[in-house]
Chains A and B, each alone.
Chain A
Amino acid sequence: MEGLNGADMVFVIFSAALVMLMVPGLALFYGGMVKSKNVLSTTLHSYAALVVISVQWIFIGYSLAFGPDKFGFIGGLDWSFLNNVGFQANPTYSSTIPHLLFVIFQMMFAAITAAVISGAFAERMRFPAFILFILLWTTFIYDPIAHWVWSGSGWLKQLGVLDFAGGNVVEINSGVSGLVAAIVLGKRKRTKPDPHHVPMAILGGGILWFGWFGFNAGSALAINGVAVNAFLTTNTSAAAGAIAFVACEWVINKKPTTLGTISGAIAGLVAITQGAGYVTPLSAFFIGLVGGAISFFAIAMMKSKLGYDDALDAFGCHGVAGIWGAIATAIFATTKVNPAGANGLLYGNFNLLKVHLISIGACALYAAVGTFAILKFINLFAKLRTVPEEESSGLDIALHGEAAYNIYNR
């Protein structure tokens, strides 16, 4: 087919599979951090998000996010059920890969974003309400924001926002939505961290780091210099984030931990998501350091000070590091790395920072208000929160009739 590039297609299709792998990775990461009586419920949140969105995306989600523009706000339903979406390239998004491959790649982003939110309300949400929430949230919050930032005529794209792999669309969006959901659902009876399987969480985090190469490098949509740059900035920021987080732990708590190492790496990965294809690897080192450090303070201090029960730190990790990532991109972006990008504050351009601050505010506000409205709406038909008896016996048995660990011979 004209214009299609085999190497680019291989790269993007493989990257899409890598992003999908982040769902099992996240399931393990979150699962290991909850009590054993809730591990299956927590795991199911991630997979259910993938399942629901795999269908919603090809029905209406892709069209709403990337379809022909309506007022810079939404894509409309012209491309529902993949109508007019085929194997020819769509030059708005990429000239060298089939349109349908772009659909696939973006679908995995939508899925993982929804899964991230579930960490905020772990151990206390009823399942029917959860499924409804995922469906409504992805349709009314994720798809519009993706449209604003990534579709050809989205209003934030038009404003000049640079979001390489989803600092706004994925990280700030899910982080803020998670925070609101955590507050609406209320605190658990016991909020003391009680990870039942730390190695599981570490493995999950490691898989996330691996998958993030597909998430960031793949967002170049071609196997080129920008993709290579994105791979390196991603890895560098992850390492720097781990260093910063552990340094904070070491100084303040006197003990460097494995969970801290991987959490810092994740914070670094979050922070670089927005700028992976726009900043230099050395800038990525600094971005990761700051991302890891502020994530530490958000998780270790801000959360207990302000009193919200963001159980698995969806906001502390994704929201906070994501906001930094958006600002950092506006500082460190350079056209030397990506001619299709722009220059940031460090290179004398103040406009990008202004535009990114608007973007952060708009996405955060819309995500917050929208999540609140959706939860209140669902509450009219289905209870959001589990009852104390269910929380006592554990959601795995109470909601799903399943026990994770049958280690006793019975």
Chain B
Amino acid sequence: MSEVMTKVDIITSPNKLDDLIDALNKIGITGMTVSNVLGCGVQKGHTEYYRGMPVDIKLLSKVKIEIVISEVPVDLLVDTVKSILHSGNIGDGKIFVYDVKNVIRISNGDEGSEALK
């Protein structure tokens, strides 16, 4: 392993997912894992109506995007994500940054930053 590898998790609402993926592709990030999740933070949720009755929804649908990078600078990734998702309101989401010990490509056994190329 010659370079530092970083994992970045982004949790945000599904609305801007397509825009986010386009922006990530533009800075050279094409590999990612996206999951549908439920979540809440400070944001309280919204109200839905079923046959006239209001229902408070607490856990909201979110998406979680997991990316592992080595060559792309973490600051560039974080700034890109913020520029797409920022609205100033609650519900924009959060970014989590972690260190990665190792990455292995299963098909040919590459390890470390080689496995990310």
Q: Give residues in A with beta carbon < 8 Å to B.
A: 37, 190, 389, 392-393, 397, 400-403, 408, 410
Contact = CB atoms under 8 A, between A and B. Distances in A.
Contacts of B72: none
B32 to A, nearest CB: 19
Contacts of B59: 408, 410
25 contacts: A37-B14, A190-B18, A389-B15, A392-B15, A392-B16, A393-B13, A393-B15, A397-B46, A397-B48, A400-B49, A401-B47, A401-B48, A401-B49, A402-B48, A402-B49, A402-B50, A403-B48, A403-B57, A408-B38, A408-B59, A408-B61, A410-B38, A410-B57, A410-B58, A410-B59
Contacts of B18: 190
A397 B47 CA distance: 9
A190 B22 CA distance: 12
B13 to A, nearest CB: 8
Contacts of A400: 49
Contacts of A401: 47-49
A77 to B, nearest CB: 36
A185 to B, nearest CB: 20
Contacts of B57: 403, 410
Nearest to B49: A401
Interface in B35-80: 38, 46-50, 57-59, 61
Given A190-B18, A393-B13, A401-B47, 11 more contacts: A389-B15, A392-B15, A392-B16, A400-B49, A401-B48, A401-B49, A402-B48, A402-B50, A403-B57, A408-B59, A410-B58
A36 B47 CA distance: 19
A392 B16 CA distance: 7
Contacts of B16: 392
A376 B18 CA distance: 32
A220 to B, nearest CB: 41
Nearest to A192: B18
A352 B49 CA distance: 54
Contacts of A408: 38, 59, 61
B51 to A, nearest CB: 10
Give the 10 A-B CB pairs with smallest separation, nearest first: A392-B15, A401-B49, A410-B59, A408-B38, A393-B15, A401-B48, A403-B48, A402-B48, A190-B18, A402-B49
Contacts of A410: 38, 57-59
A393 B57 CA distance: 15
A402 to B, nearest CB: 6
B61 to A, nearest CB: 7
A401 B14 CA distance: 17
Nearest to A405: B61
A127 to B, nearest CB: 14
A111 B22 CA distance: 41
A390 to B, nearest CB: 10
A401 B58 CA distance: 15
Nearest to A394: B15
B45 to A, nearest CB: 10
Interface string B11-35: 0011110100000000000000000
B56 to A, nearest CB: 10
Contacts of B48: 397, 401-403
A403 B50 CA distance: 9
Nearest to A391: B15
Contacts of A393: 13, 15
**Which of B14, B46, B48, B59 has the most chain A CB atoms inside 10 A of its CB?**
B48
Contacts of A397: 46, 48
A111 to B, nearest CB: 24
A401 B49 CA distance: 6
A299 B111 CA distance: 47
A402 B15 CA distance: 16
B109 to A, nearest CB: 34
**Which of A190, A389, A401 has the most chain B CB atoms inside 10 A of its CB?**
A401
B11 to A, nearest CB: 15
A326 B16 CA distance: 45
Contacts of B15: 389, 392-393
Nearest to A396: B48
Contacts of A403: 48, 57
A410 B46 CA distance: 13
A265 B106 CA distance: 45
Contacts of B46: 397
Contacts of A402: 48-50
A95 B13 CA distance: 62
A364 to B, nearest CB: 36
A402 B51 CA distance: 10
Contacts of B47: 401
